[in-house]
Amino acid sequence: MAFEGLADRLQQTIKKMTGKGKVNEQDVKEMSREVRLALLEADVNFKVVKDFVKKIRERAVGTEVMESLTPGQQVIKIVKEELTLLMGGEQSKIAVANRPPTVIMMVGLQGAGKTTTSGKLANLLRKKHNRKPLLVAADVYRPAAIDQLKTVGKQLNIPVFDKGTEANPVDIANEAIEYAKQEHLDYVIVDTAGRLHIDEQLMGELTQIKADLNPDEIFLVVDAMTGQDAVNVAESFDQQLNVTGVILTKLDGDTRGGAALSIRAVTDKPIKFAGMGEKLDELEAFHPERMASRILGMGDVLTLIEKA
């Protein structure tokens, strides 16, 4: 199956460019084509790719080729640097409210991994930060969503607040805060139902919860396998809710994960955590640099450059 990374794609091109001195226009043109295809195959949005390639071209043409590199490698180096820059720095911190409880809202499309990640975050907060979290079952729509969260809570031995499926999610969220205060729980994680970014009514429900709770974090949960549509989803959720961060799930799969780049480019919000499995301890800090290499599939090229 054709799923080459940039490394494979560039082998030929790089070999051809053996001259030294400055990177010339022709070199960059050939390389840009390959970079573009590699990014598209990795599911980076085509508009993001366009801007990115343009930037690379501008920066690369005329740069001095470092002593130890070929012009091809020099361009790769620039690509990697720009990509890492775009991915942002490492930021896995979770906000702390001045007055407890700290409120975290989980939002995203259907099946992205919100409920599982809510459990993972609660687990992390307790284990690593010694906090007392409360999970809130505000998904009254998906069949057995409450049972799912309750099962997760039971597995972790972390309390779950629910009011059944007849209650209104906005009321559930509000009452959960009161409950947390009463019980001296210092984090409240609100698991909301999956919804489409174009569903006005359900998006309105989130806006209402946000207005009432004034959350310290709103995490957009995104499936790492998402394709070109990632920009629409991220842009739309961010515009309507002003999210504070992104969590990328299912990175234990073999997707290149170009959605990460698309999301960064359109929202400029930090990607804070990566879901690395179905188990409740499989949540990791997100590493922007590793992600950059993964998207390009260019581990080999990087080793080449590092060795040079």
Partner 1 sequence: SKTRSSFSAKLNDLVARYRKVDEDFFEDLEEVLISADVGVNTVMELVAELELEAKRQNIKDAIDLKELISEKLVEIYTDGDYTAEVPLNLNSAGLSVILFVGVNGVGKTTSIGKLAYQLKQEGKKVLLVAGDTFRAGAIEQLGVWGERIGVEVIKQSEGSDPAAVMYDGIQAARSRGADVLLCDTAGRLQNKVNLMNELSKVKRVIEREIPGAPHDVLLVLDATTGQNALVQAKTFSETTDVTGIVLTKLDGTAKGGIVLAIRKELNIPVKYVGLGEQMTDLEKFDPNAFVYGLFADMVTEQQMD
Residue 228 sits in the site that holds partner 1 (CB under 8 A): yes
Alpha-carbon gap, residue 60 to 304, rounded angstroms: 19
CB-nearer residue toward Mg ion: 115 or 123: 115
The tokens for 226 are 């998402």
| Binding pattern for the stretch 171-210 against partner 1, x by CB under 8 A and - elsewhere | -------------------------xxx------------
The residue ranges that bind ligand GTP (CB under 6 A) are: 108, 110-116, 139, 142, 145, 193-194, 196, 221, 249-250, 252, 275-278
Put the strands of the sheet holding 271-275 in their side by side order: 160-161, 133-138, 187-192, 102-107, 217-223, 245-249, 271-275, 283-285
Q: Tell the smallest beta-carbon distance from residue 117 to ligand GTP (Å).
A: 6
CB 205 within 8 A of CB 120: no
Residue 3 sits in the site that holds partner 1 (CB under 8 A): yes
Residue 262 sits in the site that holds Mg ion (CB under 5 A): no
Q: Of these, 115, 249, 262, 293, which contacts Mg ion (CB under 5 A)? A: 115
CB 5 within 8 A of CB 298: yes
Alpha-carbon gap, residue 159 to 226, rounded angstroms: 32
CB-based contacts of 138: which residues, under 8 Å, 6+ apart? Answer: 169, 172, 173, 176, 190, 191, 192, 193, 209
Residue 13 sits in the site that holds partner 1 (CB under 8 A): no
CB-nearer residue toward partner 1: 71 or 257: 257
Q: Is 273 helix (H, G, I), strand (E, B) or coil?
A: strand
Q: Of these, 213, 223, 245, 247, which contacts partner 1 (CB under 8 A)? A: 223
CB-based contacts of 113: which residues, under 8 Å, 6+ apart? Answer: 221, 223, 247, 249, 250, 275
Q: Tell the smallest beta-carbon distance from residue 45 to ligand GTP (Å).
A: 21
Q: Which residues bind Mg ion (CB under 5 A)?
A: 114-115
Q: Which residues bind partner 1 (CB under 8 A)?
A: 1-3, 37, 40-43, 45-46, 109-113, 115-116, 141-145, 147-152, 155, 196-198, 223, 225-229, 232-233, 250, 252-256, 258-259, 278
